[in-house]
């Protein structure tokens, strides 16, 4: 039996792994392309029904591969290890036959670009009906009615008429709503949305974000984005990934108000702030995410970090920063500038991590 824990959150220690399993439980998920080529390096998270968890990070941090590992759709050459359980069912290592059955009914995915994810030669209504049929849906007549109900639920106007449209006859915003309807057709426990609004204009983005929150109350939603700006709008919890590793995770209000990892702080600083005087340029993070094969053994952020020390040549563990607060992987978490190794802190940083 699956028990949903209220706001169980993202946990990294055995002690905090409660006996009761939440709807989604991912433990030490790794995706590797071979020795020294780990694209995802130990993703751990837990979420209950109705929770939206944002995975955020720059390009190449392993967000999409994490999602593909959960759906069993990894590219050839990539191997997933670890555990990801949804409603008590293990996804990692499941056979292709099992995965086909699970996709749509337990797990579904909304992609960034609906125009490539939809079949251009089939009406959108028929595509939704097809999903219903795959999951042992009801009679043909009932499937047609259900497709129209789903289009109605995602706010498509004139749903009976639009159901007969081909994808190209719909606007980008409507196509993305159709994708949401298709993802919900099998009533999945886990909906993964990979940059679902990036291709849309700002107004339509806001509508689709609000819609996702509204229609997924009975599922867990993993919302993948590179934009910290949308995290506050859509998510309850956030996982910040850098170079394949989780560097910070916690409740959105905690992480956004008090980022402890320098990478989280830098991502937040690059979000346009309407209250900040416009200087013409957004701050960006100097440097780049190290590609696979160039990540070494220490903290992967040290080439870009404002306060690295010798200790950072070792990989920092992901540990709770305070009781019930965020988890952070940094030897010198805090909000301030450079520190020196002999003091451990320059006075501005008060919550230095000790080796467990
Ligand atoms: N098929 C592949 N073969 C080899 N390396 C790959 C493959 N797919 C992805 N990678 C590498 O794995 C890393 C993580 O890729 P992933 O697509 O998960 O990043 P992402 O965080 O989703 O980035 P983006 O924001 O650009 O979508 C990157 O370094 C990428 O180059
Ligand atoms: S202080 Fe060290 S451990 Fe923390 S992000 Fe910078 S380089 Fe990494
Ligand atoms: Mg991606």
Asked if 75 and 4 sit in the same domain, the reply is yes
Asked if 219 and 152 sit in the same domain, the reply is no
Within-domain flag for 348 = no
Phi-psi label, residue 129: left if phi above 0, alpha if psi -120 to 50, beta otherwise: alpha
CA of 62 to the centre of ligand 1 (A): 6
Asked if 194 and 78 sit in the same domain, the reply is yes
CA of 225 to the centre of ligand 3 (A): 8
Q: Report residues whose beta carbon is within 6 angstroms of any ligand 2 atom.
A: 262, 299, 301-302, 305, 307-308, 312, 316, 330-332
The average confidence (pLDDT) of the chain is 84
- Domain holding 231: CATH number? 3.40.50.300
Within-domain flag for 351 = no
Each residue of 127-138: pLDDT tens digit? 999 988 887 767
Strands 89-90 and 79-86: antiparallel
Asked if 156 and 209 sit in the same domain, the reply is no
Within-domain flag for 12 = yes
CA of 290 to the centre of ligand 1 (A): 12
Residue 295 lies in domain:
1-106+189-271+282-299
Q: Residue 300 contacts by C-beta under 8 Å, 6 or more apart in sequence?
A: 242, 243, 244, 245, 290
**Residue from 235, 195, 207, 34 nearest 113 by CA:** 195
Pick 307 or 199 by higher pLDDT: 307
| Predicted confidence band of residue 275 (pLDDT cuts 50, 70, 90) | low
CA of 64 to the centre of ligand 1 (A): 7
Asked if 138 and 251 sit in the same domain, the reply is no
Nearest residue CA, atom 3 of ligand 2? 330
Nearest residue CA, atom 28 of ligand 1? 60
Asked if 23 and 117 sit in the same domain, the reply is no
CA of 226 to the centre of ligand 3 (A): 9
Ordered strands of the 79-86 beta sheet:
38-47, 24-32, 79-86, 89-90
The answer, yes or no, to whether residue 228 has pLDDT greater than 80, is: yes
- Residue 154: the pLDDT is 86
Within-domain flag for 335 = no
Q: Report residues whose beta carbon is within 6 angstroms of any ligand 1 atom.
A: 33, 39, 57, 59-65, 75, 77, 226, 291-292
Question: Contact at 8 Å (CB) between 47 and 23?
Answer: yes
| Predicted confidence band of residue 116 (pLDDT cuts 50, 70, 90) | confident
| Predicted confidence band of residue 281 (pLDDT cuts 50, 70, 90) | low
Asked if 94 and 226 sit in the same domain, the reply is yes
Where does a domain end: 136, 152, 187? 187
Within-domain flag for 322 = no
3-state class of 293 per DSSP? coil
Within-domain flag for 353 = no
Question: Contact at 8 Å (CB) between 8 and 251?
Answer: no
Indicate the pTM of the whole model.
0.86
Asked if 211 and 102 sit in the same domain, the reply is yes
CA of 263 to the centre of ligand 1 (A): 19
What is the number of residues in the chain?
Answer: 356
Atom of ligand 1 minimally distant from the CA of 76: 1
Pick 112 or 42 by higher pLDDT: 42
Into how many domains does the chain fold?
Answer: 2
- Residue 335: the pLDDT is 55
Within-domain flag for 356 = no
pLDDT above 90 covers a percentage of the chain that reads: 55
Average of per-residue pLDDT across 204-210: 78
Mutate to test the pocket of ligand 1, among 30, 65, 66, 77 (most ligand atoms within 8 A of CB): 65
Asked if 87 and 207 sit in the same domain, the reply is yes
Asked if 135 and 59 sit in the same domain, the reply is no
Asked if 82 and 166 sit in the same domain, the reply is no
Asked if 83 and 64 sit in the same domain, the reply is yes
- Residue 225: the pLDDT is 92
């Amino acid at each position: 039996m699956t028990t949903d824990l209220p706001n169980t959150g993202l946990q990294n220690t055995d002690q905090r792994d409660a006996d009761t399993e939440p709807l989604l439980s991912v433990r030490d998920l790794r995706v590797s392309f071979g020795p020294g080529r780990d694209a995802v390096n130990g993703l751990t998270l837990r979420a209950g029904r109705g929770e939206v968890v944002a995975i955020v990070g720059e390009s190449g941090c392993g967000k999409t591969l994490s999602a593909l590992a959960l759906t069993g759709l990894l590219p050839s050459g990539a191997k997933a290890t670890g555990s990801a359980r949804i409603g008590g069912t293990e996804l990692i290592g499941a056979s292709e036959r099992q995965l086909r059955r699970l996709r749509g009914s337990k797990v579904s995915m909304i992609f960034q670009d609906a125009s490539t994810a939809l079949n251009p030669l089939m009406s959108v209504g028929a595509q939704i009906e097809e999903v219903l049929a795959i999951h042992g849906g009801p009679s043909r007549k009932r499937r047609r009615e259900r497709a129209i109900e789903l289009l109605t639920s995602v706010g498509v106007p004139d749903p009976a008429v639009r159901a007969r449209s081909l994808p190209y006859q719909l606007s980008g915003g409507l196509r993305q709503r159709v994708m949401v309807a298709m993802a919900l057709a099998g009533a999945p426990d886990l909906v993964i949305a990979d940059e679902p609004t990036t291709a849309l204009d700002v107004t339509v983005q806001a509508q689709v974000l609000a819609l996702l929150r509204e229609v997924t109350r009975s599922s867990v939603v993993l919302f993948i984005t590179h934009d910290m700006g949308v995290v506050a709008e859509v998510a309850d919890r956030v996982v910040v990934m850098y170079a394949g590793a989780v560097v910070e995770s916690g409740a959105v209000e905690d992480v956004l108000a008090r980022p402890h990892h320098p990478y989280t702080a830098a991502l937040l600083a690059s979000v346009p702030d309407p209250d900040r005087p416009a200087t013409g340029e957004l701050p960006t993070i100097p440097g780049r995410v190290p590609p696979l094969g160039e990540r070494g053994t220490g903290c992967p952020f040290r080439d870009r970090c404002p306060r690295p020390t010798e200790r950072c040549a070792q990989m920092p563990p992901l540990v709770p920063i305070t009781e019930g607060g965020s988890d952070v992987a940094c030897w010198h978490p805090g909000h301030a500038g450079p520190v020196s190794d002999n003091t451990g802190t320059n006075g501005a940083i008060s919550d230095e991590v000790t080796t467990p």
